[in-house]
Amino acid sequence: MAKAMGKSKRLFDKALTLMPGGVNSPVRACKHVGGTPLFIEGGAGSRIMDADGNSYVDFCQSWGPLILGHAFPQVVEAVTRAARGGLSYGTCHKGETELAELVLSGFKGFQRARFMSSGTEAVMTALRIARGVTKRDLVIKFEGGYHGHYDGMLVKAGSGLATLGIASSAGVPKDIARTTLVAPLDDEEAIESLFKRHGNRIAAVIIEPLPANNGLLVQRREFLEFLRKITQQFGAILIFDEVISGFRLRFGGYGQEVGIEPDLVTLGKVIGGGMPIGAVIGKAETMDWLSPVGPVYQAGTLSGNPVSLAAGIATLKVLKTEPVYEKLEALGQLLETNLSKSGLSFARIQRVGSIVWPYFDEGAFPRRTETISLRAVERFKKIYWTLIEEGYYFPPSAYEVLFISYAHSRDEISGLAESITKSLLQTSGDRIKDAK
């Protein structure tokens, strides 16, 4: 029997009269998969509950921050305690140094952190530092790479734009867009060409070392090494955007996983434990260009907000002391193993740790956005609402990744693999020729 969704529909109809598209972030509108967005009333552990009383095993987990799951007791306790002491101070407090120490302990080569309220702000700040240090204007980003809705980064950017079919955002002045050079991922020659033409004007190269905003496009270590070498050669700043991957795969960053140290790292999501946060970290010699020490300005009324930082401190303390990453890896392996037993050669995921991308096609996993299979996209769209009916909540786009949390169980992972297999069999018109 189909799940009741009448309350969600009524709430969305009202939202449409009050907010553009009825949402506060575009992908939530479900344009890619069709249908009405679910309106969520609560979450606990691995599950969320909608306005109609339906329960779902949640593999969105607020798009990544909830590595411990919804309403993790230590995090809720820390947030409650902090809120009782005041929601915001606009001045210094000890939580700032405590979280800074925890974050920097995961990045042994770095000595400074600056907190703000979002990943977008972190990217804005990192790019401003890079331009201040180098006294140059141009920045290289990569096709499909999303680094927040900062003007200069909204050029061929991200899953939200890919989902809605928008090449770049309206409202971005041409003079700002011209300061962003766009290169394909996994292409050393293209980067080399840009540096040969513009090397003395390039302030920074920014990349997700593990691109996870438009599919999970795992890059060759050699490509990341090349970026490190060429930026050093031309005196440019290398920025790793680890808003998604930071503290998600290990206590630290993905750059350490592959043995490459950038000049700056942007963070968010996990370090806030579900509360709004962003951060830039780096060596003192680079970070001390920030005001009030240096001439690069950044400020924010809610930067270092005590409630957000309390959530981050509680989360990182658990990650540092409990076997969270070991469990997440085991659950990820279980999902891969169970799908491999499905008998469907295209029932696959691309996975790094607890970041999972359903990619329902054969052949090599893509490393560039333009090689993402449209067949895989269509298969995802066909089974999306079937999985909702089965009680599994996914982000509503084939270009988005899933997140496994510490709260998920082996039974929930096994159930997901079974439901994916069953849904693909029910919707696939080529089930016989694609079966092993």
**183-241 pLDDT, tens per residue?**
999 999 999 999 999 999 999 999 999 999 999 999 999 999 999 999 999 999 999 99
Q: Please indicate, yes or no, whether residues 48 and 172 belong to a single structural domain of this protein.
A: no
- Domains: count for the chain: 2
Q: Please indicate, yes or no, whether residues 163 and 200 belong to a single structural domain of this protein.
A: yes
pLDDT at 158: 53
**302-333 pLDDT, tens per residue?**
999 999 999 999 999 999 999 999 999 999 99
Q: Please indicate, yes or no, whether residues 40 and 104 belong to a single structural domain of this protein.
A: no
Q: Is residue 278 part of a domain?
A: yes
Q: Please indicate, yes or no, whether residues 211 and 330 belong to a single structural domain of this protein.
A: no
Q: Which residues are catalytic?
A: 146, 241, 269
Could you list the residue range(s) of the whole structural domain that residue 423 is in? 6-71+323-434
Q: Is residue 1 part of a domain?
A: no
pLDDT at 165: 40
Among residues 321, 355, 381, which one ends one of the domains?
Answer: 321
Instruction: State the angle between helix axes of 306-321 and 324-340 in degrees (0 to 180), rounded to the nearest 10.
Output: 70
- How far is residue 256's CA from residue 227's CA, in Å, rounded to a whole number? 15
Q: Please indicate, yes or no, whether residues 62 and 78 belong to a single structural domain of this protein.
A: no
Nearest partner of 12 among 52, 53, 60, judged by Cα: 52
Which residue stretches of the chain have pLDDT < 50? Answer: 161-167, 431-436
Those residues whose C-beta lies under 8 Å from the C-beta of residue 309, and which sit 6 or more positions away, are 82, 95, 96, 98, 99, 115, 277
Those residues whose C-beta lies under 8 Å from the C-beta of residue 194, and which sit 6 or more positions away, are 140, 181, 183, 202
Among residues 321, 342, 362, which one ends one of the domains?
Answer: 321
The model's pTM is 0.94
Both tokens of 57, joined, read 């095993």
- How far is residue 200's CA from residue 310's CA, in Å, rounded to a whole number? 43
Q: Please indicate, yes or no, whether residues 299 and 180 belong to a single structural domain of this protein.
A: yes
Q: Please indicate, yes or no, whether residues 223 and 371 belong to a single structural domain of this protein.
A: no
Among residues 321, 349, 372, which one ends one of the domains?
Answer: 321
How many Å separate Cα 245 from the centre of its chain? 7
Q: Please indicate, yes or no, whether residues 184 and 268 belong to a single structural domain of this protein.
A: yes
pLDDT at 395: 96
Q: Please indicate, yes or no, whether residues 98 and 236 belong to a single structural domain of this protein.
A: yes
Q: Please indicate, yes or no, whether residues 256 and 304 belong to a single structural domain of this protein.
A: yes
Q: What CA–CA distances, in Å, run from 280 to 141, 147, 356? A: 18, 13, 25
